[in-house]
Structure 1
Amino acid sequence: MRRLMCTPVAANLGCCCRVFPNRWQPMVIKGGFMPDRAILVSVMDRRHPVDRNQVQETAGLVAAAGGLVVDYESQQRSDLRRGLGKGALERLNQKVRDQSANLVVSDIDLSPSMAAHWAAALPSETRVVDRTQVILDIFARRATSREGKLQVELAQLRYLLPRLSALGTHPDRAGGGIGTRGPGETALELDRRRIRTRIQVLQDALNRVSAARQTRRQKRHDREIPVVALVGYTNVGKSTLFNRLTGDVSVAADALFVTLDPTVRKVVVPNFGPALIFDTVGFVDRLPHTLVTAFHATLDEVREANLLLEVVDGSDPHLEQHRQATEHVLQEVGAGELPRLVVYTQSDKVPVAQRGSGQLWVSAVTDEGIDELRHALGQNLSAWRQKLTVFAPWSDSELWAAVSRDATILQRHDGGNGATLTILVPPARVAYFNGYCTLDSSGSEC
C-alpha cells in the first residue's frame, strides 16, 4: 500500500494532516526530519532564451522548504502544457534512481493530470510537486500567528481540492485496479466534502479577522495617523530596514519569506510627526493566486496605506524583473496607484558611480542613507497634511492642547503675547485651526 508522508516539501499534504489527522505520518530520523532529496525539473519555451534566474530561484525555494536539490532535468518545448516528453521522463526516472531522490519539483505549475502522468513514470515512492506547492510549504513553515496559519491552510486546501483524484481515489488506497472501484469513489467524494467544509470554516474565521482589521484601520483613520507599508520582493531587506526605522527587533534573516504576519510600529517622522509603518509579506515572481486570495486580509493593509515604501535590493542583477513582479502583485491587490517612495538597499555593495541619478540608497550595515530616508518619508507624507501658520496666545490653553494633540510644529517664534507656529494639520482639523490662521500653505493670508 502506498502511503503519503507529511515530509517538508509536501505542501499539498501538510494541510491534509489537519483534515485527515489519522492518515498522514511524518517521516522522521534522529535529530529531526529527513530532508527531501529533490530533482528540479524545468520545462522551458523553446522560443525564448533559458531564464537561469528563474531556475535558481526555484532551487532556492526548495532549499528554503528544507529540501536538497541533488540533480536537474530540463527540456525546451513549443507547448509548455505538454510538460516533459517521453525521453525526458525516462532520463528523469533514471536520475531519480541514481540519486536516491524521493521528490521531483517542477519549475512550472502542473495540472493534476500532468502531475499524475509524471508520477506514473517514476518510482512509486517518488512525489511530484510544483513551484506553487513549494511556496505554500514555505509559508506553512513560516506562519506563526493564528491568522497566518489560517491563511496558509486555506491556500493549501484550495490548491489541493482539484488535485485529490491525482493523489489516488483515496489517500488510504493505492488507486487503480480491482477492488478500488465504487467505494473508492465514494471515499473520494467524502474527502472532497471534508475539505470544502474545512475551507468554509477557514473562510468564516478569516472574514472575522478581516472585519477586526477593518475596525482597527477605521480607528487609525479617525485618529488621522498615516500608514506607510513596506513592500517589495522577498528577501530584499524589508524587515531589516523596518528595524532600522522603528528601533524594533523583529526577525530579519537572509532567507525567503521570513515575514508572513504584518508587523506595525508607530514612529515619529522628521518634519511631519507620528506615522505607522507596516512590515508586510514579501512578493515573489509568479506568486500563487491561491496565496494572494487567502492573504486578502493581510494585503488589505497594503491597499489601505497612505504611502508605499518599495524596497529594492540594489545589488541584485535581476532587480528590474523583481520590481515587475512586485508591481504585478500590487496591481492585483488594488494598490498599484498609491503614492510610492522607492528605496534601494545594499548601498555598501554598490559603488556610487553605478547608482542611478536621484535614487535613494540605504545600507543596514553602515546606516548610510537612513536619515535621508526618514526625511524623504516626511516630505512624501507632508502632502497628506496641510501646512498653516497660526498665532497661539499663551492664555489659550485649548489651542495649545489641540496643537499638541493634532498638529506637528515645523517652526516656532515666541513673542510677548504668544507664539507664531508653522504647523502641519490633518485634513479633518484644518477648519478648527483656520480660526487662528495667519498664513495658509501657499503663503497667503487666511
Structure 2
Amino acid sequence: MDIKAVRDAFPILHQEVNGHPLVYLDSSATSQKPVQVIEKLDEYYRGYNSNVHRGVHTLGTRATDEYEGAREKVRRFIHAASTQEIIFTRGTTTAINTVAVSYGRASLSQGDEIVITPMEHHSNIIPWQQLAKATGATLKYMPLQSDGTILLEEAEKTITENTKIVAIAHVSNVLGTINPVKEIAAIAHRNGAVMLVDGAQGAPHLKVDVQELDCDFYAFSGHKMCGPTGIGVLYGKRSLLNEMEPVEFGGEMIDFVNLYDSTWKELPWKFEGGTPIIAGAVGLGAAIDFLNEVGLHEIAEHEHKLVEYAQQQMKTVEGLTIYGPDKRAGLVTFNLADVHPHDLATVLDAEGIAVRAGHHCAQPLMKWLEVSATARASFYLYNTEEDIDRLVQGLQTTKEYFGDVF
C-alpha cells in the first residue's frame, strides 16, 4: 500500500492544529473522507440532484441509477446474495433499532431471551433493553474473559433453547476485540435463535462476507469507512426481511394506498420510507470504490502492523494501562496513571493529536473495566508509525505537565 498516495487523498489531514501538524487518531468515532468521496457528493449536487424512483426525467433517472448502483456496490462489498437484502438506513443505530422493533416485537414474548455482551456499544444495548421491556423477554449477558474476549464455551452456556436473538459486535469499539461471530452464529442457529452483528467497527477494517459468517443481520455505518455521515446499511437475510413489517410509513415504501388500508413495495424499498438518503448512498458507493482500489487486505495488514507497533511503543510509557487483548483491531484504549482522560486528550490536542476520551458509548464496559472513562487512539489506512511516535511523545509531554501525579 502506497501510504503517501493514500494520505494525499485526504485533504483534511494536511493542516496544522494548535501549531502542529495534525495527527488524527479518532477514526473509530468517524473516519476522514478522501477527495474521491467529496468530489462524488459535489458531482451529485451540481450535476443530477433529484429524487429517485419517482420521476422519468433525465436527472431523476441518473440519480436513481447512482442510488441503486451504490446498493449493488454494498452488496458486493459484504458478499450478500441479493440487493434485496441491502437496506439503506441512517446508520448502525437505525439498523439495529429496525431489527429490534420490526423483528423483535413480532417474534419475542414472555420467557424468551436476548443475549448480548458487556462490551457492546449503547446502540447495541438500549434497543434490546427496550425490546425486553416491551415483550417481557429476558436480557442476558455473555461473560467476558479478563482480557475482554469471549470463550465459545461461555457462548454455549449462555445461549439456550429459549434464546431468540443474539446481538454482538464484530469488533469492540473500546477493546478492539475481534469476536468469533461466525462460530457464535452457528451456536445461535443450533438453538433456534437469529444472529445480529454490529459491524460498525468491522466493515471498515475487515473483509466481510455475510454469507460465510451466516449472520441473519449485519449493521454498519458509512461515516466510519470513508463515506458521508447519515448513511448506513442493514443487511438481512431475505427470508427474514420478507416476513418483517416496515417501521416507517409514508411515501416511497408503498405499493397501493386505499382509504383504510395499504400494501407495501417489495424488498428493499418497503424499509426505505420517504425520500431516501440519496447523496449519502452515492457517497458511500464512492467510499467503497476507494477502499476496494486501495485493497481491503492491504488495509487490514497496514492496521495490524500499526496496532502492534502502537502497543510496543506505548508500553514503554511508565504509568500507562492498556485495556483489551493483545490480538486486536486497529485501536488502543488506555489510561495514564491518575490523569483524567479528558485532561489527557486536552494536552494531546494542544500538540495537534486528536484522540477520543470518555466512556465511548459503552458505560457497562467501563464498569466492567472498573474505570469511569478511558482515552482511545484508533487507526485507519491513512495513519503511520510517525503518528504513533507523535502520540507517545505527547504522552510523555502529558506526564511532564501532570508531573505531581507520577
**TM-score, reference length from structure 2:** 0.29
The structure having more radius of gyration, on CA atoms, is 1
**TM-score, reference length from structure 1:** 0.27
In terms of fraction of residues, the more strand-rich structure is 1
